[in-house]
Structure 1
Amino acid sequence: MTSNIAEQLNNALVEGRSSPIIELVMFIQGMMTRWFSARRKKANKHRGLMTIEVDKVMTKTMALVKGSKVNSISSWSCQVVGKFGGSESVQLEQKKCTCKYFDNMKIPCGHAMIAADNIGLEYETMVGHWYKTVAWRETYAGVIRPIGDPRDESIPEDVRDAMLMPPLTKRPPGRRRTKRFPSTGEMPGPKKKSVPNKCGRCR
C-alpha cells in the first residue's frame, strides 16, 4: 500500500520492454492473464472474511499492545492505557482512534481491537469493505481473454491501404539501458558482497 504500483509493473515488464509494440502488448496480456487466474484461485480458496495480508497485519498489531488496560467511557468509547503509561482514546462507532492508524488505514489498530474485545464486537465489522474477501474476489472476477486472430477483424479500406512509415528517430550510441533511474530521495539497495575465489583443495 506504500509502494508505487507503476514501479512494480515497470519491473515486471523488463523482459518484454525491448520487444516490438505488438509483441509487448501480447506479453502484457499473457502476464495479466496469469496474474488474474492465480489470484482468482487464491481468493476463491480463502474462507476468512478478511484478506490474508490484512489478517496478518491485525495479528501483528494486536501483539504490540498486548497487556494494555481498557477503561470504558461509554458503550462505544474506551480509553486504552498501555504498559508504559501511554493512553489512546477509541471511538468504535465512528471507527476512530487517537493514534490515527484506524482513521487513515481503515484497519483496526491494536487499541481498537482491545476495545472491541471489551464489548464483544467482531473484528470483521471494523475493517473497510475493500479489505474483505468479497472485495478481493470481485477485483479478479473479470476475465482477460487471449488476443484473437487479426484476420477475423474487419478493417476499413482506408486504414488497410494507408502507408504508415516509422518515425524519424536516431538511436543514441551505446548499449540500451535496462534499469530505470532512481527517483529523488530513493535509497539504493545494499550491494552484494563479492565472494573471493578460493582453491578447492587448499582453500
Structure 2
Amino acid sequence: MYMVKGAAYAHTVPEYDRYMDLIRAANPALATYLETADPKLWSRVHFEGDRYNIKTSNIAESINSAVKKAKGLPIPRLLEFIREKLGRWFSKRREDALSLTTRHSRGVEYILAIRSYYAGSMIVDRIDAWRFHVKGGRRDSAAEANVDMSYYVCATHSTPSLFSTYAHPIYPKEGTDSHVKPVRCLPPGESVPSGRPKKSRWQTWLEMSRKKNTKPRKTHKKYSCSKCKEPGHTRPNCVAED
C-alpha cells in the first residue's frame, strides 16, 4: 500500500516511475491494473488539473461540528443560527485583514520568511536572465537573482484579496417571524422512534481507540473440537477415534 500511495502522491515523473517499478517487481498484476485504470485519474503527477492537496471531507466535518448545537431546532431557526455564526466569522476575519500591515496574510509571510532563510544559504550561478544553477553553501541567493521572492506569490494570497473575500456582510432576513403566513402544522407521516434523538453518528472502534490513545486490537476466537475437546480443529476435521 505504501508503494501505491507513493506513486499517487509523487510530484515528479521519475519518482512516479520509481514507485511503479517497485510495484511491478512486487506484484505485476497490481501494476498492470493501476496502469489500466488511467494514472490521470489517481496520480498527482499525471493529473491535468489542480488538486491543491485537498482530498478529504474535513471542511464538511468542521461545518457539521459547528452547527451541532442547532441540529434539533426547527429549520428556520437552524438557518438563522448558521447565518449568525457565519456573520461572526466574516466580521472577525474582515477586521483581521484590515489590521494587516504586510503585503500578504500572516501565514504566507511566515512561509516566505522561512524559505528566505534557507534560500540565503545557497550558492547561485547565473545561467541567463531567468535561469540559475542553485547549489549548497552560504550566500544570499535572493540578492544574486535581484528578484523579490514575493513576486512569485499568487495574488489570491495578498492582503487586499484576503479582505475582499470577507468584505461582503451577511445581513439578517428582513422582517420578523410574524410575517410568515400561518399554516396548520400536521404531524409527520412516519412514527418517531422512542428515546432521545441521536445528534451524532456512531463512532467506529478505530475512532474510539484513537480518542483513548490506545492501540486497537482485534481478538480472534479460539475454536475447539466439540468431540474431543481439543483446540486447533473442529468436529469435521477431528481424527479422534470413536
Under TM normalisation by the shorter chain, which class is it?
A: 0.5 to 0.7
CA distance in 2 between counterparts of 1:10 and 1:42 reads 25
| Structure-1 residue corresponding to 2:157 | 131
Q: 1:72 to 1:56 in 2, by over 3 A?
A: same
The Cα shift of 1:54 comes to: 1.2
| Structure-2 residue corresponding to 1:177 | 198
CA distance in 2 between counterparts of 1:17 and 1:70 reads 58
The Cα shift of 1:21 comes to: 1.0
Q: Which amino acid aligns with 1:139?
A: T
Other structure's SS at 2:86 match: helix
| Structure-2 residue corresponding to 1:58 | 112
Q: 1:119 to 1:65 in 2, by over 3 A?
A: closer
Q: Give TM-score scaled by structure 1 length.
A: 0.62
Give the alignment's Cα RMSD to 1 decimal.
3.4
8 Å CA contact retained: 1:70, 1:118: yes
Stretches of structure 2 that go unaligned for 5 or more consecutive residues are 1-51, 215-242
8 Å CA contact retained: 2:70, 2:81: yes
Alignment size in residue pairs = 157
CA distance in 1 between counterparts of 2:130 and 2:159 reads 26
**CA deviation string 1:91-145 (max 9, x = no partner):** xxxxxxxxxxxxxxxxxxxxxxx75442221222211111111110110110111
| Structure-2 residue corresponding to 1:70 | 124
Q: 1:51 to 1:162 in 2, by over 3 A?
A: same
Q: Which amino acid aligns with 1:144?
A: I
Q: Give TM-score scaled by structure 2 length.
A: 0.53
Give the number of the structure whose residues are more often helix, by fraction. 2
Other structure's SS at 1:80 match: strand
Q: 1:176 to 1:192 in 2, by over 3 A?
A: farther
Matched, 1:168 2:189: yes
Q: Given the alignment, which residue of 166, 174, 187 partners 1:140?
A: 166
8 Å CA contact retained: 1:72, 1:78: yes
The Cα shift of 1:172 comes to: 4.1
Larger Rg belongs to: 2
Most deviating of 169-178 and 129-138? 169-178
Q: Looking at both structures, which has the greater relative contact order when contacts are Cα pairs under 8 Å and sequence separation is at least 6? A: 1
Other structure's SS at 2:110 match: helix
Other structure's SS at 1:46 match: coil
| Structure-2 residue corresponding to 1:81 | 135
Other structure's SS at 1:79 match: strand
8 Å CA contact retained: 1:78, 1:115: no
The Cα shift of 1:60 comes to: 3.1
Matched, 1:118 2:144: yes
